[in-house]
Structure 1
Amino acid sequence: MREVVICSPLRTPVGRMGGALAPVSALELATTVLRALVERSGVDPARVDGVIGAQGYPTMEAPAIGRVAALDAGFPVTTTGYQLDRRCGSGLQAVLNAAMEVQTGVSDVVVALGVESMSNAPLYTVDGRRGIPNGGLLLRDALARGRETVGGRDYPTPEGNVGTAETLRAEYGITREAQDALALRSHQRAVAAQESVAFDTELVPVEVPGRRGSTIVDRDEHPRADTSLDALAGLRPVLLRSDAAATVTAGNSSGQNDAAAACIVTTPESAAVLGLVPMLRLRSWAVAGVDPRRFGIAPVPAANLALERAGIRFADLDVVELNEAFAVQVLACLADWGVDAEDPRLNPRGSGISIGHPIGATGIRMLATLAHELPALDGSLALETMCIGGGQALAAVFERV
């Protein structure tokens, strides 16, 4: 199969739930990052075969968001597009789907797009199409409902992802103190990256309309420079009422966020013809499944298989981007790998707890960050992996070009 390279990975700032990016729809975020991708890379949109859009909480305001965002961003009508959902792994899956198209010769140049506006996730009903039932219509919150139903009928997760995180806490004996310490390190690393302008080359500013005129958002909102172990220790565990031993809090969990990210996936030969500068080469990837009730451990088999396929060991990696869905699930994965929680290779610029977790965009956000981390750290090999609600995980090995 043909070799695959990644060019121009970019992302918007990550906004807090209900924060600065809340007035901007997912489609507008996607359109913004696609326009910036064209401008910064210099790629001719007419040479792009398709846009694969990842989104976890879509609405019918932009169906098949890859296609709609491409059209709104000025791509020609010949540019195809679609939408996929592998929950937290959706953004990385868009990159991998694009890679498979390129590797097999189906396409030459594909844009992988990830986007989420969790601030605007829909409230919906499935009860009203054939008349209003007695008692009126029930509106469900897509964010909460998706976490309850993701295991299907036979693997219920009534307490959502938090409940599954507490399962790992009990299984691995992970303390609240260890979780809060990891969360603090995540914020410290993300804030340090902000202060050193390390994120600037991967960021695309977003114009946000307002009653008093537009404002420009050009900085991640979620990292907290003022957090501390005392502040984190003061937060109440989410499931304390039902589990006296509960430890998972809002402070040691990922955020609910808004962002978009995109990159160009192509061959080295096409990149040269189009004047694109490859940053990463895809070495291998893998997907794994586990019991949905302990989904946070799934990066272990996924990463192990991806490393085996790449012919490398964990010790060969220079950067490990493991999304922080919860501090407890990161610590469980590290325990299985035998990796120290303070390993400097692990999320050198923070992750889901500090930067945030806009689920459809996260995979490409992580890719943009690691693409810029590798040269800054004089590294060569990176692993990107994340657990996925419902009992899955993705992992991919990338090499610096």
Structure 2
Amino acid sequence: MPELRDVVICSPLRTPVGRIGGVLAPLHALQLAETVLRALIARSGLDPAAVDGVIGSQGYPTMEAPAFGRVAALNAGFPVTTVGYQLDRRCGSGLQAVVNAAMEVQTGVSDVVVAVGAESMSNAPLYTEQGRRGVPAGGLFLHDALARGRETVGGRDYPTPDGNVGTAETLRREYGITREAQDALSLRSHQRAVAAQESGAFDAELVPVDVPGRRGVAVVDRDEHPRADTSLEALAALRPVLQRVDPDATVTAGNSSGQNDAAAACVVTTPERAAALGLTPALRLRSWAVAGVDPRVFGIAPVPAANLALERASVGWADVDVIELNEAFAVQVLACLADWGIDAEDPRLNPRGSGISIGHPIGATGLRMLATLASELPALDGTLAVETMCIGGGQALAAVLERV
């Protein structure tokens, strides 16, 4: 078998992140993906004809864009020779699209692959599986894809009837994590995201989005989810989601990730091909790993995934300059940090915020994180970063990335 080729990541970009039902709600995931793909081509100067394929990630698809990567590519003006498909590894989908692209390039199957992730949780479908067999006496029951996916993700034998929130409370009990610690981490996340906004730290990675409305087109160029006005007092006043069934519950909307809309993309290729195409590499993929745990404690899965990725890269936590750990829940982050022996206030951890503050648009999150750390590393004069996230259903994905 021939030696695997080196892989670099070029031009990671993202749209602003919108709140569910917020400024980006009029646009579907496909439109967000088209926007970021067009910007990727325009900013990088890449000839779309040089792209072998587009891998699209989305957590809540419909049949309006089957084989999401292919349809997004066609709508964005790529030639019909550009192939594409879609994948879903829930919260890890965006990073998985990058990893899949890397494997194609490493093995020589492709030379240039674009990874794109998009989600419009504002437009996640309501669906039924009953209609084709006739309408039942009580009428058709519509499932909410957002809620249903969190209840069924563990399959038959690992039920999660209280969704992801229930699994977060399980970690809270097992690790003895207080509400105060969760709220403190959440506040830091918002403070860091707001500071990054105000300083212009996100500007290089952001792609403005045109949103049509009754009063004309509005240009959205700023993340909607970070809250400059939040405080420990405001967070402490929020009611735990499962308080009715668990009087000791601590997980609230304030110390959990958002439900959001966004898209992000990047180019994956070899250093040699990047040079020939005039692309400037931002990151090199050193290693990656995926791990599985009991779905009922899925939030702890980044621990084995990141540990394995670090081992494969022959480095340790002391060598890492930036830790991008997606904040699905504050309690989940704190549990992972406890196992790693990393302080919750470590400045390497999500220097510009994460899922609680920036938001968590499922299919786009992994690529959003990639775009952010690509500018964080040089700003902090760092070399190595770890990107990792827990994944509903008991998985986690992690990658070790090196500044080029």
TM-score (norm 2): 0.99
Structure 2 partner of 1:40: 43
1:187-206 to structure 2, matched below 5 A, reads 187-206=190-209
Q: 1:167 aligns with which of 152, 164, 170?
A: 170
The answer to whether the aligner puts 1:150 opposite 2:138 as a matched pair is no
Q: Deviations over 1:110-151 (max 9, x none)?
A: 000000000000000000112111211000000000000000
Structure 1 partner of 2:225: 222
Q: CA deviation at 1:23?
A: 0.2
Aligned mates of 2:387, 2:209 — CA distance in 1: 26
The answer to whether the aligner puts 1:70 opposite 2:60 as a matched pair is no
Structure 1 partner of 2:59: 56
Over the aligned positions, Cα root-mean-square deviation in angstroms equals 0.3
Structure 2 partner of 1:247: 250
Structure 1 partner of 2:348: 345
Q: Deviations over 1:301-332 (max 9, x none)?
A: 00000000000000100000000000000000
The answer to whether the aligner puts 1:28 opposite 2:31 as a matched pair is yes
**Helix, strand or coil at the partner of 1:359:** coil
Q: Deviations over 1:326-372 (max 9, x none)?
A: 00000000000000000000000000000000000000000000000
Tell me the matched-pair count.
Answer: 401
Q: 2:331 aligns with which of 328, 331, 335?
A: 328
**Helix, strand or coil at the partner of 1:272:** helix
Aligned mates of 1:12, 1:65 — CA distance in 2: 18
Q: Deviations over 1:144-179 (max 9, x none)?
A: 000000000000000000000000000000000000
Aligned mates of 2:261, 2:38 — CA distance in 1: 18
Structure 2 partner of 1:376: 379
The answer to whether the aligner puts 1:109 opposite 2:118 as a matched pair is no
**Helix, strand or coil at the partner of 1:51:** strand
Q: 1:273 aligns with which of 251, 273, 276?
A: 276
Aligned mates of 1:284, 1:391 — CA distance in 2: 21
Aligned mates of 1:288, 1:25 — CA distance in 2: 31
Q: CA deviation at 1:185?
A: 0.1
Structure 1 partner of 2:179: 176
Aligned mates of 2:167, 2:211 — CA distance in 1: 36
Structure 2 partner of 1:319: 322
Q: CA deviation at 1:78?
A: 0.2
Q: Among the aligned pairs, what percent are the same residue?
A: 86
Structure 2 partner of 1:89: 92
**Helix, strand or coil at the partner of 1:280:** strand
Q: 2:261 aligns with which of 235, 258, 264?
A: 258
Amino acid at match of 1:48: V
Q: CA deviation at 1:234?
A: 0.1
Q: CA deviation at 1:54?
A: 0.2
Structure 1 partner of 2:368: 365
Q: 1:128 aligns with which of 131, 138, 141?
A: 131
TM-score (norm 1): 1.00
Aligned mates of 1:367, 1:61 — CA distance in 2: 27
Q: CA deviation at 1:14?
A: 0.1
Structure 2: runs of 5+ lacking an equivalent: none
The answer to whether the aligner puts 1:306 opposite 2:309 as a matched pair is yes
Aligned mates of 2:85, 2:227 — CA distance in 1: 36
Amino acid at match of 2:15: T
The answer to whether the aligner puts 1:231 opposite 2:234 as a matched pair is yes
**Helix, strand or coil at the partner of 1:60:** coil
Q: Deviations over 1:85-130 (max 9, x none)?
A: 0000000000000000000000000000000000000000000112
**Helix, strand or coil at the partner of 1:214:** strand
Amino acid at match of 1:189: R
Structure 2 partner of 1:400: 403
Structure 1 partner of 2:144: 141
Aligned mates of 2:219, 2:292 — CA distance in 1: 41
